[in-house]
């Protein structure tokens, strides 16, 4: 039973991720009702999400480091309380600043507590199938837009945005807290087991503290690739709906491009996870980043809705599949004892990368009057990520000394 408990961790992690990320990222469906009732500007309401991204990145590093010391369960329990409290206060807010603090501050801080702790714990439970396991945990984040967001829309229509957000707060806390009690540390013998399919060289000596981690070339390359990957796709993800509408698509049809990407991402997580277990994480990441860059560049030749859907399938498969694999690479490099710190650090850099795309894409559109240079620049950033990924230190085979061979 102990050997197979890792799959319980995977199931609990997927449920927790779905609930937490779904509750946090449902803000767009609240935007219109909040603006209509309160008179707050859309920029002010959306600003809560911007604050949330920043806080989530910083908090993720802190929560990850704390996970290495006390384990994931207490971190997730505290985060569940913060999530429920933030949603509840935001639902009662009568002042925009209070809403931004509650949604961006409290909910953002809770959001950073789920990825690094859950993935770090999951990695410790698997020696085989690590890539598939972390991909399945991240599946919850992919399912969230197709479950929690529509549910929030129904609740808003029937009960108003304040009651809908309050009910979401209660439901999220009530469901996440019991699931958190299923999360526990892996036995030491399992956590220490190396990944048999690894195709990269571990950091030597193995870092034991934050300073040692940040001095390794493995960390700088890993963080840099994660940053470039997110910087490459965040702009196209954010602006493609507007681009499709400029090409003549209706608002509803353009918005459905996101749904296609999200659905394709579910399959990408499984496909890329299985491939990484078979042929190596580094090879899959390099291939995925290169394919992502080609797909992004192809947008400059697209103007018809069916072609937008085709590219959405490709890009959804790729970035949905690649994103969870950075954590597997981190495990192969640094071992289990500092996973929370490493994952928190690289997640923080990825959040910064995500922040560049929307702003940069808007500036390029305002400057040149179209999205052509957004896709060219994003593809270039993506290729830079693929090139940097080639610098991941490869696994070396140590030769047996001649005098140690049997006669």
Residue 394 lies in a domain: no
Task: Inform me whether the pLDDT recorded for 98 exceeds 70.
Answer: yes
Query: Is a pLDDT exceeding 80 seen at residue 192?
Result: no
Q: Report the percentage of the chain scoring pLDDT > 70.
A: 90
Is residue 378's pLDDT more than 90? yes
99 with 233, same domain?
Answer: no
- State whether 13 and 103 are in the same domain: yes
Kindly state whether residue 276 falls inside one of the protein's structural domains: yes
Residues 211 and 378 sit within 8 Å (Cβ to Cβ): no
Specify whether 273 is located in the same domain as 374.
yes
pLDDT at 398 over 70: no
Residue 368 lies inside a defined structural domain of this protein:
yes
Residues 78 and 218 occupy one common structural domain? no
Helix, strand, coil % over all residues of the chain, rounded to 5: 80, 0, 20
Q: Please report the pLDDT score of residue 188 as a whole number.
A: 63
Between CA 193 and CA 320 the distance in angstroms is 27
* Predicted local distance difference test score (pLDDT) of residue 170: 93
Give the pLDDT score at 212: 77
124 Cβ contact list (under 8 Å, min separation 6)? 185, 186, 190, 191, 336, 339
Residue 6's pLDDT is: 86
Domain extent for 31: 5-187
What does DSSP assign to residue 402? G
Q: Which of 179-183, 338-342, 371-375, 393-397 has the lowest mean pLDDT?
A: 393-397
Q: Would you say residue 399 has pLDDT above 70?
A: no
Q: Are residues 41 and 140 in the same domain?
A: yes
Number of domains the chain contains: 2
Query: Comparing 403 with 164, which gets the higher pLDDT?
Result: 164
CATH number, residue 110:
1.20.1250.20
Q: What is the pLDDT of residue 406?
A: 42
> What sections of 108-246 are H helices per DSSP?
108-111, 115-124, 130-159, 161-180, 188-191, 210-214, 217-246
Average pLDDT rounded to a whole number, residues 324-335: 82
Residue 204 has pLDDT above 80, yes or no: no
What pLDDT is attached to residue 146?
73
Confidence class for position 325, pLDDT limits 50, 70, 90: confident
pLDDT in tens, 4-61: 788 899 999 999 998 998 888 788 778 888 988 998 887 788 778 778 878 888 888 8
Task: Looking at the structure, tell me whether residues 50 and 133 fall in a common domain.
Answer: yes
In percent, the amount of the chain with pLDDT more than 90 equals 31
Decide if 396 is inside a domain.
no
At 405 the pLDDT is 42
Specify if 350 maps to a domain. Answer: yes
Q: Which two tokens stand for residue 272?
A: 């890329």
Q: Is residue 31 located within the same domain as residue 154?
A: yes
Asked if residue 201 belongs to a domain, the reply is no
Q: Are residues 251 and 374 in the same domain?
A: yes
Does 363 lie in the same domain as 216?
yes
| Predicted local distance difference test score (pLDDT) of residue 403 | 43
**Is the pLDDT reported for residue 104 higher than 90?**
no
pLDDT at 90: 94
pLDDT of residue 198: 57
Q: What is the mean pLDDT of residues 291-297?
A: 94
CA distance 329 to 202: 9
Per-residue pLDDT, 329: 84
Rounded mean pLDDT of 312-318? 90
Backbone angles phi, psi at 200, to 5 degrees: -130, 160
Please check the confidence at residue 207 and state whether its pLDDT lies above 80: no
Task: Examine the domain organization and report whether 248 and 323 are in the same domain.
Answer: yes
Token pair listed for 195: 């990944």
Residues 281, 215, single domain; the answer is: yes
Residue 3's pLDDT band, with cuts at 50, 70 and 90, is low
Looking at residue 280, what is its pLDDT? 84
Q: Are residues 287 and 371 in the same domain?
A: yes
pLDDT class of 407 with cuts at 50, 70, 90: very low
The reply to whether 61 falls in a domain is yes
User: Which among 49, 160, 163, 156 has a CA at the least distance from the CA of 108?
Assistant: 49
**Is 378 within the bounds of a domain?**
yes
What are 148-166's pLDDT values in tens digits? 878 888 898 899 999 999 9
Q: Which of 142-146, 241-245, 373-377 has the lowest mean pLDDT?
A: 142-146
Summary mean pLDDT of the chain:
83
Check: CB of residue 68 under 8 Å from CB of residue 341.
Answer: yes
Kindly report, residue by residue over 132-142, the tens digit of the pLDDT: 888 888 888 77
Tell which of 152, 187, 222 closes a domain.
Answer: 187
**What mean pLDDT is predicted for residues 250-257?**
74
pLDDT score recorded for residue 201: 57
- Over residues 172-199, the mean pLDDT reads 75
């Amino acid at each position: 039973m102990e050997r197979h408990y890792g799959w319980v961790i995977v199931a609990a992690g997927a449920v927790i991720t779905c609930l937490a990320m779904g509750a946090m990222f449902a803000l767009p469906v609240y935007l219109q009702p909040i603006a209509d009732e309160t008179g707050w500007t859309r920029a002010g309401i959306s600003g809560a999400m911007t604050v949330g991204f920043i806080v989530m990145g910083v908090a993720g590093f802190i929560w990850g480091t704390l996970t290495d010391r006390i384990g994931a369960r207490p971190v997730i329990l505290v985060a569940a309380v913060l999530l429920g409290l933030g949603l509840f206060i935001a639902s009662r807010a009568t002042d925009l600043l209070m809403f931004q603090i509650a949604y961006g501050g409290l909910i953002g801080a809770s959001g950073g507590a789920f990825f690094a702790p859950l993935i770090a714990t999951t990695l410790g439970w698997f020696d085989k199938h690590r890539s598939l396991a972390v991909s399945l945990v991240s599946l919850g984040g992919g399912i969230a837009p197709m479950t929690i967001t529509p549910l929030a829309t129904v609740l808003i229509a029937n009960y108003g945005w304040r009651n809908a957000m309050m009910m979401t707060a209660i439901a999220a806390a009530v469901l996440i807290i019991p699931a958190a009690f299923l999360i526990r540390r892996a036995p030491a013998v399992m956590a220490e087991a190396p990944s048999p399919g690894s195709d990269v060289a571990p950091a030597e000596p193995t870092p034991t503290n934050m300073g040692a981690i940040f001095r390794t070339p493995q960390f700088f390359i890993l963080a840099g690739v994660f940053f470039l990957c997110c910087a490459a796709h965040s702009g196209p993800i954010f602006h493609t709906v507007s681009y499709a509408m400029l090409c003549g698509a209706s608002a509803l049809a353009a918005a459905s491009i996101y749904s296609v990407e999200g659905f394709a991402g579910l399959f990408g997580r499984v496909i890329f996870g299985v491939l990484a277990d078979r042929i190596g994480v580094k090879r899959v990441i390099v291939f995925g980043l290169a394919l992502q860059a080609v797909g992004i560049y192809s947008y400059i030749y697209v103007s018809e809705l069916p072609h937008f859907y085709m590219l959405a399938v490709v890009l959804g498969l790729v970035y949905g599949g690649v994103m969870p694999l950075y954590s597997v690479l981190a495990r192969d490099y640094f071992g289990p004892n500092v996973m929370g710190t490493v994952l928190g650090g690289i997640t923080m850099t990825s959040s910064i990368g995500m922040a560049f795309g929307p702003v940069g894409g808007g500036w390029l559109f305002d400057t040149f009057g179209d999205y052509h240079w957004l896709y060219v620049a994003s593809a270039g950033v993506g290729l830079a990520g693929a090139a940097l990924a080639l610098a991941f230190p490869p696994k070396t085979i140590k030769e047996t000394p001649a005098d140690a061979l049997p006669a």
